[in-house]
């Protein structure tokens, strides 16, 4: 019988695993598919994690993982298909015929990319439409691209692509950007970057591959790459039946990561919170183990 199963291996899950090992808990981490340490792996540059300025997201995640592995944390690559509780014990059903039993569960599955919401966009996935500038930017070397969004991801993507591409359009639906003001100022200095505000993508054009987009102000941009950076959707489908989600499907829990269900804790971007950053996800992982230990003492 495990003390705690951590579902998800982003910064929150890995930090929880490190704290669990150091607290001598019997822990297992289940991850769907290892593609780097959570969403941060897609970030070209992380400048706000203390002590390691200017590192790329993938390398930062690798450092987290090496730390966990050095303590003996084991990662199981499997998709969790069901989550239930029987007589106070959590049963975590996964594919590959794997079933885990545990006294507590830390749910740290993060978020996935939100689609643009433009009719027919699915047909352009992998044909010019991408959700990851770091992964796919190199395909557009010397070409014209557009980034959609006004948050940190959009600004970071635009910055990264402006060093590779001939021309980058940054298109945002409002005038105010919610991403870093410092990055926005740097973007304004870029000669090959054009910022278009108060505009939405109305149509994507192109036969087999994207050749342009039409904005709702009827401007046509000739581009071959379209990078969507319009936010995240929490991956909380497995928790629907537990009544712990808010109206946007984030898990309701405060900083102690406790949900209203006994033995169920939520950490990282899936949790309701003000600021979703690597540092706040890592903090959640530490708090989650503190709460798990308190829970284990009381059962």
Q: Which residues carry out catalysis?
A: 132, 135-136
Of 109, 68, 111, the C-alpha closest to 265 is 109
Contact between 137 and 111 (Cβ < 8 Å): no
* Phi-psi label, residue 206: left if phi above 0, alpha if psi -120 to 50, beta otherwise: left
Q: Which is nearer to ligand NAP, 48 or 222 (CB)?
A: 48
284 three-state secondary structure? helix
The residues facing 266 across adjacent strands are 107
User: Which CB atom, from 149 or from 263, has the smaller least distance to ligand NAP?
Assistant: 149
Binding site for ligand NAP (CB under 6 A): 43, 46, 48, 116-117, 148-154, 156, 173-174, 178, 200, 229-232, 276-277
Asked if 80 contacts 94 with a C-beta cutoff of 8 angstroms, the reply is yes
Strands across the sheet containing 193-196: 129-130, 225-228, 144-148, 167-171, 193-196
- What is the closest distance, in whole angstroms, from the C-beta atom of residue 173 to ligand NAP in the complex? 5
Structure tokens at 185: 């100022």
Q: Say if CB 7 and CB 109 are below 8 A apart.
A: yes
| Comparison of 76 and 200: residue with beta carbon closer to ligand NAP | 200
Shortest distance in whole angstroms from residue 246 CB to ligand NAP: 15
Looking up tokens 């639906």 gives 173
Query: Minimum distance between the CB of residue 47 and ligand NAP, rounded to whole angstroms?
Result: 6
| Contact (CB, 8 A) for 138 and 164 | yes
Q: What is the 3-state secondary structure (H, E, C) of 20-35?
A: HHHCCCCEEEEECCCC
Min. distance of Cβ 103 from ligand NAP in angstroms? 32
Q: Are strands 99-107 and 220-221 parallel, antiparallel or unpaired?
A: unpaired
C-alpha radius of gyration, the chain, whole number: 21
Q: To the nearest whole angstrom, how small is the minimum distance from the Cβ of residue 156 to ligand NAP?
A: 5
Residues contacting 23, CB < 8 A, separation 6+: 289, 293
């Amino acid at each position: 019988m495990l003390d705690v199963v951590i579902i998800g291996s982003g910064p929150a899950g890995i930090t929880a695993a490190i704290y669990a090992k150091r607290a001598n808990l019997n822990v297992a981490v289940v991850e769907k598919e290892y593609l780097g340490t959570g969403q941060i792996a897609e970030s070209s540059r992380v400048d706000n994690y203390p002590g390691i300025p200017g590192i790329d997201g993938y390398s930062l995640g690798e450092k987290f993982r090496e730390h966990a592995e050095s303590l003996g944390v084991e990662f199981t690559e499997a998709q969790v298909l069901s989550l239930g509780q029987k007589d106070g014990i959590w049963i975590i059903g996964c594919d590959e015929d794997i079933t885990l039993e545990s006294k507590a569960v830390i749910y740290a599955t993060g978020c996935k990319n939100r689609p643009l919401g433009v009719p027919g966009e699915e047909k352009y996935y992998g044909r010019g439409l991408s959700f990851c500038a770091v992964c796919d930017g190199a395909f557009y070397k010397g070409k014209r691209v557009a980034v959609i969004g006004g948050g940190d991801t959009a600004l970071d993507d635009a910055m990264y692509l402006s060093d590779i591409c001939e021309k980058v359009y940054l298109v945002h639906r409002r005038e105010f950007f919610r991403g870093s003001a410092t990055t926005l100022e740097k973007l304004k200095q870029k000669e090959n970057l054009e910022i278009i505000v108060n505009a939405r993508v109305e149509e994507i054009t192109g036969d087999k591959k994207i050749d342009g987009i039409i904005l709702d102000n009827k401007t046509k941009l000739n581009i071959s790459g379209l990078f969507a950076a319009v936010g995240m959707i929490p991956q909380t489908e497995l928790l629907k039946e537990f009544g712990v989600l808010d109206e946007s499907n984030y898990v309701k829990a405060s900083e102690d990561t406790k949900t209203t269900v006994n033995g169920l804790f939520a950490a990282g971007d899936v949790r309701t919170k003000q600021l979703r950053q690597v540092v706040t996800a890592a903090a959640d992982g530490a708090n989650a183990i503190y709460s798990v230990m308190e829970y284990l003492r009381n059962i």
